[in-house]
Structure 1
């Protein structure tokens, strides 16, 4: 089977609030917008990653209470990205951690979907 594209969707009953959050976070208008139905944002590329969380974060990924799925956003400056989230009213609740692939911090969108802001080393 040949696949042409892969994209992630987030379901929400708070459509306008979530679309406005991602417009501000990504600093762009949706490429495709059907009011109160569907909004699509395009970022240069999208990858689907499968990872094992650090042991001290495993409970956060437990399927019974929180989603194991994360929207990972690679940024060029982690501190600037954190400041941007703070200005939107959604500051990350924890501290920056260092992983084998770089520095990262967890944050959440208005619906509680996990965002991982990541800066490569």
Structure 2
């Protein structure tokens, strides 16, 4: 069996990446590595690599159709209340209430570009 992919990661396109890189640097509590200002930033998370890039001016419409995004980034957090407090401190408080589900609790929020964040705290005691 031939495997044609050995790694996958999520990328976000932004015409002004400075604000989104600063947001994720503060919210995730880590610095991007590598980081090429105004070109590319990459955050190494357990189980996920998050890349943020600035598309070439000729490609903006391809990556950011009509200024909208369709991504939902689900982040498992150990303490949902603390994550909500951090988002609020950064100026992006979740607009709704915490939702309960059989798998735990979650809340929807948005980053500075309007990408949906799903912050999830598992009902499992030991993550």
Question: Which category of TM-score, normalised to the shorter sequence, fits these structures?
Answer: 0.7 to 0.9
* Matched position secondary structure for 1:92: coil
Runs of 5+ in structure 1 lacking a partner? Answer: 48-65
Question: How many equivalent pairs are there?
Answer: 103
SS across alignment from 1:103: strand
CA distance in 2: counterparts of 1:7 and 1:69, whole angstroms: 13
Deviation of 1:46 after TM superposition, in Å, equals 2.6
Q: Within 5 A, what are the aligned runs for 1:5-16?
A: 5-16=7-18
Structure 1, residues 49-96: CA drift from partner, whole Å, max 9, x if none?
A: xxxxxxxxxxxxxxxxx7553100000010000001001000000000
Conserved in 1, the CA contact under 8 Å of 2:16 and 2:38? Answer: no
Aligned CA distance change for structure 1 residues 99 and 67 (closer, same or farther; 3 Å)? farther
Normalised by the length of structure 2, the TM-score is 0.76
Aligned residue in 1 for 2:112: 110
Alpha-carbon separation, structure 2, partners of 1:71 and 1:116:
6
- Residues 1:18 and 1:99: Cα distance change in structure 2 (over 3 Å): same
C-alpha RMSD over aligned residues = 1.6
Corresponding residue number in structure 1 for 2:73: 71
TM-aligned CA distance change 1:68 to 1:15, over 3 Å? closer
Which structure would you say has the larger Rg?
Answer: 2
TM-score by length of 1: 0.80
Once superposed, which parts of structure 1, at least 4 consecutive aligned residues long, lie more than 3 Å away?
none
